[in-house]
Amino acid sequence: MKRTALSFSGGKDSCFALYKLQEQEGIEIASLVTTVFQEDQKTVAHGEPPEHIKQQAERLDVPVTFVTTDFKSYGEDYLDHLLKLKETYQLDAIAFGDIYLEGHREWGEELAARAGLEPLYPLWSTEYQALPLLQEFISHGFQARVIKVDEEKLPADWVGRIVDGAFADEIARLDVCPMSESGEYHTVVEDGPCFRK
Protein backbone atom coordinates (compact mmCIF):
# COMPACT_ATOMS: atom_id res chain seq x y z
CA MET A 1 0.00 0.00 0.00
CA LYS A 2 1.43 3.38 -1.07
CA ARG A 3 0.71 5.80 1.78
CA THR A 4 0.20 9.22 0.23
CA ALA A 5 -0.27 12.83 1.32
CA LEU A 6 -2.24 15.12 -1.02
CA SER A 7 -1.63 18.84 -1.44
CA PHE A 8 -5.16 20.15 -0.87
CA SER A 9 -6.86 23.50 -1.49
CA GLY A 10 -10.49 22.41 -1.18
CA GLY A 11 -11.09 23.24 -4.84
CA LYS A 12 -11.99 21.14 -7.85
CA ASP A 13 -8.47 20.06 -8.83
CA SER A 14 -7.48 18.76 -5.41
CA CYS A 15 -10.85 17.06 -4.84
CA PHE A 16 -10.72 15.46 -8.29
CA ALA A 17 -7.13 14.35 -7.64
CA LEU A 18 -8.29 12.79 -4.36
CA TYR A 19 -11.06 10.93 -6.19
CA LYS A 20 -8.67 9.66 -8.87
CA LEU A 21 -6.18 8.47 -6.25
CA GLN A 22 -8.88 6.71 -4.23
CA GLU A 23 -9.96 4.89 -7.40
CA GLN A 24 -6.46 3.45 -7.85
CA GLU A 25 -5.61 0.18 -6.16
CA GLY A 26 -2.64 0.23 -3.84
CA ILE A 27 -2.92 3.89 -2.77
CA GLU A 28 -4.03 5.05 0.66
CA ILE A 29 -4.54 8.76 1.33
CA ALA A 30 -2.97 9.25 4.75
CA SER A 31 -3.37 13.03 4.99
CA LEU A 32 -4.39 16.18 3.17
CA VAL A 33 -1.90 19.07 3.36
CA THR A 34 -3.11 22.67 3.15
CA THR A 35 -0.93 25.79 3.23
CA VAL A 36 -2.03 28.81 5.27
CA PHE A 37 -0.52 32.29 5.23
CA GLN A 38 0.86 33.26 8.64
CA GLU A 39 -0.18 36.90 8.18
CA ASP A 40 -3.92 36.50 7.61
CA GLN A 41 -4.50 32.84 8.56
CA LYS A 42 -6.20 32.14 5.21
CA THR A 43 -5.37 29.34 2.80
CA VAL A 44 -2.65 30.20 0.29
CA ALA A 45 -4.49 28.88 -2.75
CA HIS A 46 -7.96 30.33 -2.29
CA GLY A 47 -7.96 32.64 0.73
CA GLU A 48 -10.33 30.38 2.65
CA PRO A 49 -10.48 30.10 6.46
CA PRO A 50 -8.80 26.86 7.61
CA GLU A 51 -12.06 25.94 9.36
CA HIS A 52 -13.68 25.43 5.94
CA ILE A 53 -10.92 22.99 4.98
CA LYS A 54 -11.33 21.13 8.29
CA GLN A 55 -15.04 20.73 7.58
CA GLN A 56 -14.31 19.42 4.09
CA ALA A 57 -11.71 16.99 5.41
CA GLU A 58 -14.17 15.69 7.97
CA ARG A 59 -16.74 15.04 5.24
CA LEU A 60 -14.05 13.43 3.08
CA ASP A 61 -13.04 11.27 6.06
CA VAL A 62 -9.34 12.09 5.57
CA PRO A 63 -7.13 13.85 8.15
CA VAL A 64 -5.84 17.31 7.24
CA THR A 65 -2.73 19.13 8.43
CA PHE A 66 -1.81 22.77 7.88
CA VAL A 67 1.50 24.35 6.87
CA THR A 68 1.67 27.90 8.24
CA THR A 69 4.01 29.91 6.03
CA ASP A 70 4.77 33.06 4.05
CA PHE A 71 6.02 33.71 0.51
CA LYS A 72 9.66 33.91 1.59
CA SER A 73 9.87 30.55 3.36
CA TYR A 74 7.07 28.67 1.57
CA GLY A 75 9.21 25.87 0.11
CA GLU A 76 11.24 25.26 3.26
CA ASP A 77 8.17 25.33 5.52
CA TYR A 78 6.38 22.86 3.24
CA LEU A 79 9.42 20.56 3.22
CA ASP A 80 9.78 20.64 7.02
CA HIS A 81 6.10 19.82 7.43
CA LEU A 82 6.30 17.04 4.85
CA LEU A 83 9.26 15.43 6.60
CA LYS A 84 7.28 15.36 9.87
CA LEU A 85 4.27 13.90 8.06
CA LYS A 86 6.48 11.29 6.43
CA GLU A 87 7.56 10.09 9.85
CA THR A 88 4.09 10.30 11.42
CA TYR A 89 2.22 8.54 8.62
CA GLN A 90 5.06 6.47 7.14
CA LEU A 91 4.46 8.21 3.82
CA ASP A 92 5.64 6.88 0.49
CA ALA A 93 4.34 9.63 -1.81
CA ILE A 94 3.04 13.19 -2.12
CA ALA A 95 0.32 13.96 -4.69
CA PHE A 96 -0.58 17.21 -6.43
CA GLY A 97 -3.58 18.32 -8.51
CA ASP A 98 -1.57 20.07 -11.23
CA ILE A 99 -2.64 19.40 -14.81
CA TYR A 100 -0.11 20.68 -17.35
CA LEU A 101 2.08 23.54 -16.07
CA GLU A 102 5.62 22.16 -16.15
CA GLY A 103 6.93 24.72 -13.65
CA HIS A 104 4.44 23.56 -11.04
CA ARG A 105 5.34 19.93 -11.67
CA GLU A 106 9.06 20.64 -11.41
CA TRP A 107 8.53 22.37 -8.06
CA GLY A 108 6.53 19.42 -6.71
CA GLU A 109 9.01 16.87 -8.01
CA GLU A 110 11.91 18.72 -6.40
CA LEU A 111 10.01 18.95 -3.10
CA ALA A 112 9.21 15.24 -3.23
CA ALA A 113 12.82 14.34 -4.01
CA ARG A 114 14.09 16.39 -1.07
CA ALA A 115 11.58 14.65 1.20
CA GLY A 116 12.42 11.20 -0.18
CA LEU A 117 8.88 10.70 -1.50
CA GLU A 118 7.42 9.68 -4.85
CA PRO A 119 5.57 12.54 -6.61
CA LEU A 120 2.12 11.65 -7.97
CA TYR A 121 0.10 13.69 -10.48
CA PRO A 122 -3.23 11.89 -11.00
CA LEU A 123 -4.67 14.65 -13.24
CA TRP A 124 -1.55 15.21 -15.35
CA SER A 125 -2.49 15.74 -18.98
CA THR A 126 -2.09 18.43 -21.63
CA GLU A 127 -3.51 21.90 -22.12
CA TYR A 128 -5.79 20.45 -24.81
CA GLN A 129 -7.35 17.99 -22.37
CA ALA A 130 -8.43 20.68 -19.90
CA LEU A 131 -12.01 20.92 -21.21
CA PRO A 132 -12.57 17.12 -21.30
CA LEU A 133 -11.13 16.97 -17.77
CA LEU A 134 -13.59 19.62 -16.57
CA GLN A 135 -16.45 17.75 -18.26
CA GLU A 136 -15.32 14.52 -16.59
CA PHE A 137 -15.22 16.26 -13.20
CA ILE A 138 -18.80 17.46 -13.70
CA SER A 139 -20.01 14.08 -15.00
CA HIS A 140 -18.83 12.36 -11.80
CA GLY A 141 -21.33 14.43 -9.83
CA PHE A 142 -19.01 16.88 -8.10
CA GLN A 143 -20.71 20.06 -6.91
CA ALA A 144 -18.33 23.01 -7.06
CA ARG A 145 -18.89 26.75 -6.80
CA VAL A 146 -16.68 29.62 -8.00
CA ILE A 147 -15.34 31.62 -5.04
CA LYS A 148 -12.78 33.88 -6.75
CA VAL A 149 -11.93 35.06 -10.27
CA ASP A 150 -9.05 36.86 -11.93
CA GLU A 151 -11.02 39.88 -13.15
CA GLU A 152 -8.56 40.44 -16.00
CA LYS A 153 -9.69 37.11 -17.43
CA LEU A 154 -13.26 36.53 -16.24
CA PRO A 155 -16.16 38.79 -15.20
CA ALA A 156 -16.56 39.42 -11.46
CA ASP A 157 -20.14 38.12 -11.62
CA TRP A 158 -18.80 34.60 -12.21
CA VAL A 159 -18.18 34.43 -8.46
CA GLY A 160 -20.93 32.25 -7.03
CA ARG A 161 -21.51 30.31 -10.25
CA ILE A 162 -21.98 26.56 -10.07
CA VAL A 163 -19.52 24.50 -12.12
CA ASP A 164 -21.93 22.51 -14.27
CA GLY A 165 -22.53 21.68 -17.92
CA ALA A 166 -23.61 25.23 -18.77
CA PHE A 167 -20.46 26.55 -17.08
CA ALA A 168 -18.28 24.17 -19.13
CA ASP A 169 -20.04 25.16 -22.37
CA GLU A 170 -19.54 28.86 -21.69
CA ILE A 171 -15.93 28.69 -20.53
CA ALA A 172 -15.04 26.59 -23.59
CA ARG A 173 -15.86 29.64 -25.76
CA LEU A 174 -13.51 31.94 -23.82
CA ASP A 175 -9.78 32.42 -24.17
CA VAL A 176 -8.97 30.91 -20.76
CA CYS A 177 -8.06 27.46 -19.48
CA PRO A 178 -11.32 25.62 -18.71
CA MET A 179 -9.67 24.01 -15.66
CA SER A 180 -8.18 27.35 -14.53
CA GLU A 181 -4.62 26.05 -14.51
CA SER A 182 -3.36 29.65 -14.45
CA GLY A 183 -5.73 30.82 -11.72
CA GLU A 184 -8.48 32.23 -13.93
CA TYR A 185 -10.99 31.16 -11.29
CA HIS A 186 -10.98 29.25 -8.00
CA THR A 187 -13.61 26.94 -6.60
CA VAL A 188 -14.76 25.22 -3.46
CA VAL A 189 -16.19 21.71 -3.75
CA GLU A 190 -19.31 21.20 -1.67
CA ASP A 191 -20.15 17.59 -2.55
CA GLY A 192 -19.12 14.73 -4.77
CA PRO A 193 -18.33 11.02 -4.96
CA CYS A 194 -15.37 11.16 -2.56
CA PHE A 195 -17.41 12.83 0.18
CA ARG A 196 -18.43 10.25 2.78
CA LYS A 197 -20.60 12.48 5.00
Backbone angles phi, psi at 106, to 5 degrees: -60, -40
Q: Which H helix or E strand runs over 51?
A: helix 50-60
| Predicted confidence band of residue 45 (pLDDT cuts 50, 70, 90) | confident
- pLDDT value for 117: 98
pLDDT of 175 over the 80 cut: yes
Q: What is the dihedral of CA 18, 21, 22, 24, to 10 degrees?
A: 170
Residue 164's pLDDT is: 98
User: What's the pLDDT at 158?
Assistant: 97
Whether residue 99 is predicted with pLDDT greater than 90 in this model: the reply is: yes
User: Mean of the pLDDT values across residues 41-49?
Assistant: 90
Cβ contact 141:185 at 8 Å: no
Average pLDDT, the chain: 96
Residues in Cβ contact with 162 at an 8 Å cutoff, skipping those fewer than 6 apart: 143, 144, 145, 146
Q: Is the pLDDT of residue 195 over 90?
A: yes
pLDDT exceeds 90 at position 71: no
Q: Which residues pair with 33 in a beta bridge?
A: 7, 65
Domain 2-120 sits in CATH at 3.40.50.620
Would you kindly state where each structural domain of the chain is located, as residue ranges?
2-120, 127-191
Per-residue pLDDT tens for 106-153? 999 999 999 999 999 999 999 999 999 999 999 999 999 999 999 999
